[in-house]
Amino acid sequence: MYKALFKTNYTGVIVDEAHKIKNPRSKRTQALVGWQGKAKRLLTKDNIKQCILLSGTPMMQRPWELYSVLRGLIPDELGPYSKSSMYAIHFCKGYKDVYGRWITNGSDNLEELSEITKKLIFPVSRERIERNLPPIRKQIVRLSCGGTYLAQEKAYNIESLEDITSSIGFEGLSELRHLMAIQKIPYIQDYVKNLLLSGEKVIVFAWHRAVLQSILTYVQALSLPRDVLLLDGSVPPSQRQSLCHKFNTENYSIALCQISAVSEGLSLHTATHVVFSEISWNPSDNEQALKRSAQVH
């Protein structure tokens, strides 16, 4: 396929998920913008007049992540920094460790790098994108376990639960809520299974950890070819952003999330479906959780 594409007389290229072109040694990078031996690649052929790289994932965690694209597409504008070692030292505080490996995790001279890239990078706000997206479709899935719910309710003095200002009433409602959630688990598992087998990338929200753990065990037993992500209160806040990044960029099929742990500040934008197996008593928590994905069903 690579040879067939290369022989095609195309003059423009659009590359989606362009943030993946950041490792100079990867086969993807070498196929698209590789420069070893000065051989032309898919994005650097002489007849190409325009190249557009699209990404919804920020590339600028570290300056090194831009090197492959810049070196492949505008080597002349990089000047002396087109050489990887010079770029690493000048923009990444690069150095060789005791094993002779380059360490390029730092950053330096960012204003100079910004000057080089400002005419190439065009940020588009989420608000502008959402104006062109179809509206979110919401659906209530009815479960056939209402009779069991009623049996559980009869075990309680409902009148006493109506006084939510008392500790007894609040504890009773919380316990009843937990029992209802547990009873829904088989139905949730079956619904999620159908989504996964159809190839969808799914987020499942729940309030109780027991619900998430049950779904996790069930999904793992399916032996799907893609990974499962669990984000609940046991995951330190310092690790949640990196785990979301892995979900968006690596081979994951489902994220199991506790509403209270991921209601704000995180992005799981590559999911196509969001399932609320439970909801928060605070409506704003649910709305914030829904916004973790950019376009969902």
Domains of the chain: 2-123 (3.40.50.10810), 146-290 (3.40.50.300)
Q: What pLDDT score does 92 carry?
A: 92
Regions in the chain scoring below 50 on pLDDT: 295-297
Q: Give the Å distances, CA to CA, from 109 to 39, 51, 116, 180, 245.
A: 30, 27, 11, 57, 26
Tens-place pLDDT, residues 112-154: 998 888 888 888 876 776 676 666 777 787 777 656 666 666 6
Name the one residue in this structure whose structure tokens are 């950890």. Answer: 209
* Whole-model pTM over 0.75: no
Tens-place pLDDT, residues 23-52: 777 888 888 887 655 677 888 888 888 888
223 phi-psi bin (left φ>0, alpha ψ -120 to 50, beta other):
left
Q: What pLDDT score does 297 carry?
A: 43
Q: What pLDDT score does 87 carry?
A: 92
- Both structure tokens of 89: 């030292």
162 touches 169 (CB < 8 A): yes
